[in-house]
Structure 1
Amino acid sequence: MPVLQFKGKTAIECYHHTISHHTLEFDAKLSVLGKGEKPALDGNLIIEGDNLIALKALLPTHAGRIKCIYIDPPYNTGNEGWVYNDNLTQPQFKEWIGRAVGKEGEDATRHDKWCCMMYPRLQLLKELLRDDGAIFISIDDNEVHNLRMMMDEIFGPENRLGVLIWKSRNFPDTRPKTGVSVDHEYILAYRKSSDGRLLGKRRSETKYSNPDKDTRGDWTSCSLLGKATKEQRPNLHYDFVNPKTKEVYRCPPATGWICSKTTMDQKIAEERIFWPRKAGGRPREKVFLKELESGVLGFPSVIDGVFTSDGTEEIRQIFGDQIGTVLPFPKPSLLIRDLVAQVAVGDDFVLDSFAGSGTTAHAVLRLNEEDGGNRRFILVQIPYEMKEQEKNKFNICQKITAERVRRVIQGFTYTSPKGKKEKVTGLGGSFAYVCVGKPLFGEYRDWGKQLPGYDDLAKYIFYTETSRDFDRKAMNEKTGKIGEHHGTSYYLLYTPDGQEDRRLDMEWLKGLDKMEKNRSLVVYCEKIWVHRDDLAKFEQKTKRTVRPMIVPFNLK
C-alpha cells in the first residue's frame, strides 16, 4: 500500500506516546449541572485545552469507549490563521511553533505542518474508539488527498466506510476565481475494525399501497426494463402476452427485459405483473412491502438538503450577528445529527476534539430529545485559536463552545429577520466543564533518588486505567505485571532509581506470550522499541491486543 511521506513524519509517528499525561480539573462555575448532580468523567464533558494533550488525558478513562467521533479540523486554506504548537524538540519544529500557517505559494511547508498536526491526533482518536466505533472527518479539496492517505495508513483501507460528499452550498458562487463554483465538501468515514458499520436509513414506506386489495398487502410497482442489448443478453429479449387481454408486449430493443422468459412467465402466473390500463403503456412488476429483505437502505454517499447557511443561521439565532466573524462557516447541527445517528445509540459516547462552536453537542442533545436516547458528548476546544483572540483574552471554549451548549440546554430567545422575538425551548441535559491541568508528575528533570517508587506509580496507573483500588499483593515487579481487570492485564516496566531503562521490545513480548492468559494487554514502559508493523504482526499471530504507553514523565 502506498504511504504518505511528509517533512517531520519520522519524528511525529510515535510522538503521541511521548506526551505526558495531564490532570483533568473540573470547573464548577462554568459547568451546567442538575440539582444535586456532581461533575464526573462519565457524563457530558467540555474540555478546555490543547486537544492533543486532552486526548492523551482521556485515555485512562475513555480508551476503547468512544462509539462515534466527529471532527472538523482546519481545512488549511491559508486563510484560517491556525498556528502549529506541538512542542517537539527537533529544530524544524522549533521553527514552526507559534507561527500562523501561510497560504499556498507563500509557505512551502504548509501541508507538512498540517500533516504533522493531524497524525498524532488521529492515532489517539483511534485508541479512544470502540472496536465497533466510527469516525467522521470534515475536509475540503486542500487536504482531502493527504487525509485519506493518513487515514488509510492509521485505520487501514479495509476500514474505510466511504468518502461522503456534502453539498454545503445552497446556491452557486457567482464570483469564483477559477470559474468553478465549489459547492461541496468531503466527510471521510472510517471504522476502527470490521465490527463497525453504519446503521443506514429507514426505507420510506409512503409509496407502498394496496389499491387493488391484493391479499399479499401493500405494494409498489417497479420497471421491468433491462439494461442490455440483444447482442449482449439474447435471453432477455422476447415478447410476452397478457393472459387476460391477449395483448402482446414487444421487447424494447435497446434494453430488453430485466429477467428471462421463464422467470417472467412465473411472475405472470403468480400475478406479480401490474398491467397497464391504457394502450401503449408498459407492464411493471408488483413488489410487496412484506417481502423486502430489509427495511433499511444504505446511508447515501451524497448528502443534500442541509447547508452551511443553516449552520450560520443557528449561530445567529443563538448569539446574534456579530459572532460569525469569530468562527465562520459553522457546520449545521442537522448534518452532524444524521452522522451521529448512524453510529451512536443509547448512552454511547460521542467525541469532537475540534469542537469550535459546539455544534456536535447541540446535535447530540437534539438527537437525544428526538429518540429518547442518553448519548453523552465530549467536546475539546483550545481557548485561543489565533493570536488576536489570545491578545483580547477572548476564550473561545468558555464564551462560544460552552455558552452555546448552555443556551441549547436551558433555552434562549432570538430576534427573527422580521423583528419578532422567538423563544426556543431548551433541550435539557448537563455538562461538566473541565480544564487540562498540569502533568501528573510535574515537569521532572534529573530526579535521581526522588523518582516515584514502583508501587506508587503502579497504583496510579492501575487506578487511572480501571477506576479500581490497587492490590499490592497482586503486583509482581520482576515480571512487571501490576494487576488485571475485566480480561485485561496491566504491566509497568520501570526502575525507580532511573539507572536502567526497562523497555517494551519484541523479546519481552515473546517471553510474555508463554505465561499470560489474558488477550488484552496494556504495557506502561520507559521506552518503546517495537515498530508499529511488528506489533501488528504479533497481535495477529497471538490473537492479542497490546496498547503500549510511555510512563507519564521524563526519567532522565
Structure 2
Amino acid sequence: MFDNRLIFGDNLLALKALEQEYSGKIKCVYIDPPFNTQQAFEHYDDGYEHSIWLGLIRDRIEVIRRLMTDDGSLFVHIDDNELGYLIVLLDEVFGRANRIGIVTFKQSSASGPKAINPGLVTTNNYLLYYTKNKSAWSPNRVFVPGERDDRYSKCIENFEDHFSGWRLIGLREAFLRSAKLESWDVAKAKFADKLEVKLSEFVVSNAHRIVRTARVAAKDVNESAREALEKSAEDRTRVFCSPREGKDAYYFLGGEQLVFYKSKTRVIDGVTVTASPLTNLWDDLLSNNLHNEGGVSFPNGKKPEALIKRCLELSTQPGDIVLDSFGGSGTTGAVAHKMGRRWLMVELGEHCHTHVIPRLRAIIDGMDQSGISKAVGWQGGGGFRYYRLAPSLIINDRWGNPVINPEYNAAQLSEALAKLEGFSYAPSETAWWQHGHSSERDFIYVTTQNLSAEQLQALSDEVGVERSLLVCCAAFHGVTAAKASERWPNLTLKKIPKMVLSRCEWGHDDYSLNVANLPMAEQNEEPAPQATVKAKPRAKKAVSSTPDLFSMDAEEGQE
C-alpha cells in the first residue's frame, strides 16, 4: 500500500504537480491554512495583508477544485479572523450552491489565561464545507454519542413472550430488578454520582425492550397499521402489531404507538451508545489535552485526530483518496492511514521531517495507539512514499534565455518530460530511443542534442512505419517543424524549452503561503530511514521543476 505520498516542498507547486495524475480523483480535501491572525507561531509566520492572504488561498483552492472528484468534499479549517471573506472566496470558486454548510467546532473551553481577556472569550473555530458538484454529492450519514432520552420511561418486562401479552413496567423498577436493589434510595446510595451512567448503560443494553408511547394520527400510517391502531384503542389490554416489509413492525397499545429505544442507538467506534444525527455544532471534540497525540508536539497548530476522522466519515469510504496540502504535524495523513484511506500530504516546513515522518513511522509500526487508534482497532501496517519537490526544469541563462536546468541529468530530464507529455517512463534496454511509452506503438525520446536532418532521418528509419515517436530535443536544424511532419510522419518534434514554457510556470522557487521565516531543508538532507521502512535510495530523481513533477525517495512500510 504505497499509494500514500508525503511531499516536501511548496504546496502550490506540489498541487500543480499533482494535477496530471490526480485531476478529478481526490474524494476529500481537508486543509488547515494559516489563519492570518497577525501572530507568530513556532512553525509558521501567520501575518499577511488581508488581500494578499486571500489571493494566496485562492491560488491553491482553484487547483484543489480541479483535483477533486465530482462528488468530492472540501473542508477548510479557519477562525473568525478571515471567516466572512473566505466564505465569499469559496462561494466564487466552488459556487454558492455547492456550499454544504459551516460547522462550528468548539476548540477549547473558556478557562485558563484566555478567560481573563476582556469582552468575548474565543473558543470556536469553523469548518467551511463545500462539494464540487452538489447534484453528484452523496454524503454518509454520521451519528454522534448523545445523552439518554428520558422520555423512554417504560420497559417490557416479558419481551420474550408473544407481543400481544407484553406488560409494561416503569424504567426505574426494571433497573432496580436488574441490579437487585430494593428502592431508588438504595440505588442512589450505592451508585452516588454514577447512578445516571448506570441507568444509561441499562437502557442501551436493553434498548430492544425500553419504550415510550407516542400518539400517532391514523392518516399518517398505512391501512394495515391503521387497523391495528384502531383495534388497540378498542382493546387497551393487548398489544397489536402491523408488520412492515424490510422495516421494523409497528406496535400499538391503548391507541398509541410503542416506540423502541433501539431506534435511538447506534454502534460508534465499536460501542453501542445513545446517538443522534451529526449537526453543524461540533462541541464534543475539544482539542485541548492533545499535546501527546501522535507522539509529536505542535503548539497552536495540531488538530484532534477525532476531528479529521469525522470529516472522513462524512465524505469518504475505505480506499478513497484524501488530500491535505497544509500537512502541519501530519494529522490528516495519520487519520486517513488508520481509517484505510489513501492519502496525499504536502508540507514545506522542516517539521515534515521532525514531526510528520516520525509520526507516520510509528503508525506503520503499530506503535502509535493515541488518537483514534483504539476506536478503529489500528494495529499497524501500510506504507508511504516520500517525495521532494525538484528544482525548476527551465531556468534563464546569463542572457535571459530559457534553457534546461543543468541540475537535471539525462535520466531525470527524460522522466520529467515523459510525465509532462503523459507517457510512462520506461527506458528500453535494447532501443536507445525508447525512453517511455503511451501505448505499444507510441514512444518518447528525450535528448539535449541539436538534431540535424540526417539524424532525424536515421531515427525515423529505425522507428519504422508501424510505430510513432515524440522527439523532445533542445533544437533541430535543417528543416522546419511543418516540413518535418511531412518528411517523417512517424516523428513529432518538440523543442524542450518551448514545450515546457507553454505548459508550466518556471523559474520560481517558492509560492509559499508562509513566505517569511519558514525553515527549509538542507539540499542534501534526507530523512533517516525508519525501523519498518526499507529505504530504497534511487539513482534517478523522478522529475520536475515547475509544477509538474517530484524528486522521490521511497519510504516503504509493511503491507
> TM-score w.r.t. structure 2 length?
0.52
3-state DSSP class of the match of 2:93? helix
**Superposition map of 1:2-81 within 5 A:** 43-80=3-40
Structure 1 equivalent of residue 323 of structure 2:
351
Q: How far is the alpha carbon of 1:176 from its aligned partner?
A: 4.4
Work out the percentage of aligned pairs sharing the same amino acid.
25
Between the aligned partners of 2:3 and 2:15, the Cα distance in structure 1 is 16
Q: Which residue of 2 aligns with 1:134?
A: 73
Match of 1:462 in 2: 421
- Indicate the residue corresponding to 1:438 in structure 2: 391
SS in 1 for 2:390: strand
Q: Is the 8 A contact 1:167 1:183 kept in 2?
A: yes
Q: Distance in 2 between matches of 1:440 and 1:450?
A: 6
Letter in 2 for 1:185: N
Listed as ranges, the matches of 1:469-480 within 5 Å are 469-470=437-438
Matched, 1:405 2:385: no
Paired position in structure 1 for 2:284: 305
Q: 1:472 to 1:146 in 2, by over 3 A?
A: farther
Give the equivalent residue in structure 2 for 1:243: 234
CA distance in 2, matches of 1:463, 1:242: 73
**Secondary structure of the equivalent of 1:438?**
coil
1:333 partnered with 2:310: no
Question: Counterpart of 1:166?
Answer: 105
2:125 to 173, 180, 185: 185
Summarize the alignment of residues 366-385 of structure 1 with structure 2, pairs less than 5 Å apart.
366-368=338-340, 375-383=341-349
Give the CA deviation at 1:243. 3.1
Please report how far the alpha carbon of residue 123 of structure 1 lies from its aligned counterpart in structure 2 after TM superposition: 0.7
Work out the CA distance in 2 between the residues paired with 1:448 and 1:53. Answer: 19
Matching residue of 1:360: 332
**Alignment length, in residue pairs?**
354
- One-letter amino acid matched to 2:361: R
Q: CA deviation at 1:141?
A: 0.6
Q: 2:41, 2:300 within 8 Å by CA — same for their partners in 1?
A: no
Opposite residue 469 of structure 1, the aligned amino acid is H
Which stretches in structure 2 are left out of the alignment for 5+ residues? Answer: 167-206, 218-231, 238-248, 268-274, 371-376, 406-413, 427-435, 444-473, 477-498, 505-545, 549-559
SS in 2 for 1:132: strand
1:305–1:448: structure 2 CA closer, same or farther, 3 Å change rule? closer
Deviation for aligned residue 1:213: 4.8
Distance 2:440 2:381 in 1: 44
Rounded to whole Å, the distance in 2 between the matches of 1:161 and 1:466 is 41
Answer yes or no: is the 8 Å Cα contact 2:29–2:322 preserved in 1: yes
Equivalent-residue separation in structure 1 for 2:145 and 2:49 (angstroms)? 46
Displacement after TM superposition at 1:291 (Å): 11
Per-residue CA shift, 1:219-262, capped at 9, x if unaligned? 85464499xxxxxxxxxxxxxx953469xxxxxxxxxxxxxxxx
Q: In the alignment, which residue of structure 1 is the partner of 2:142?
A: 201
* 1:475-508 C-alpha deviation (Å, 9 max, x unpaired): 9xxxxxxxxxxxxxxxxxxx989xxxxxxxxxxx
Q: C-alpha separation between the residues in 2 aligned to 1:441 and 1:402?
A: 31
Label 1:328 to 1:439 Cα distance change in 2 as closer, same or farther (>3 A).
Answer: same
Do the aligned partners of residues 164 and 473 (structure 1) sit closer, same or farther apart at CA in structure 2, a change above 3 Å counting? Answer: same
Which amino acid is 1:140 matched to?
D
- Kindly provide the amino acid, as one letter, of the partner of residue 438 in structure 2: F
Shift in Å, 1:527: 8.8
> Residues 311 and 101 from structure 1, CA distance in 2 versus in 1: closer, same or farther, beyond 3 angstroms?
closer
Q: Distance in 1 between matches of 2:108 and 2:39?
A: 19
Distance 2:310 2:380 in 1: 17
RMSD: 5.1
- Superposed CA deviations along residues 251-295 of structure 1, whole A, max 9, x for unmatched, are xxxxxxxxxxxxxxxxxxx985444xxxxxxx8533479999x99
Deviations 1:189-211 (A, max 9, x none): 11111222320125999999964
SS in 1 for 2:115: coil
Rounded to whole Å, the distance in 2 between the matches of 1:138 and 1:200 is: 21
Q: Is the 8 A contact 1:352 1:378 kept in 2?
A: yes
3-state DSSP of counterpart to 1:350: strand
Q: Is the 8 A contact 1:55 1:125 kept in 2?
A: yes
Distance 1:191 1:379 in 2: 20
The aligned counterpart of 2:95 is: 156
Residue type of the alignment partner of 1:400: H
CA shift, 1:72, in A, is 0.8
Instruction: Tell me how far apart the structure 1 counterparts of residues 33 and 403 of structure 2 sit (CA, whole Å).
Output: 43
Could you tell me which residue of structure 1 aligns to residue 86 of structure 2? 147
- Looking at structure 1, the residues matched to 236 and 369 of structure 2 have their Cα atoms a distance apart, in angstroms, of 65
SS in 1 for 2:291: helix
SS in 1 for 2:130: strand
CA–CA distance in structure 2, aligned partners of residues 61 and 307 of structure 1: 37
| Cα distance per residue 1:420-478 (max 9 Å; x no partner) | xxxx9853221111111122344578548999xxx999855332699982369889xxx
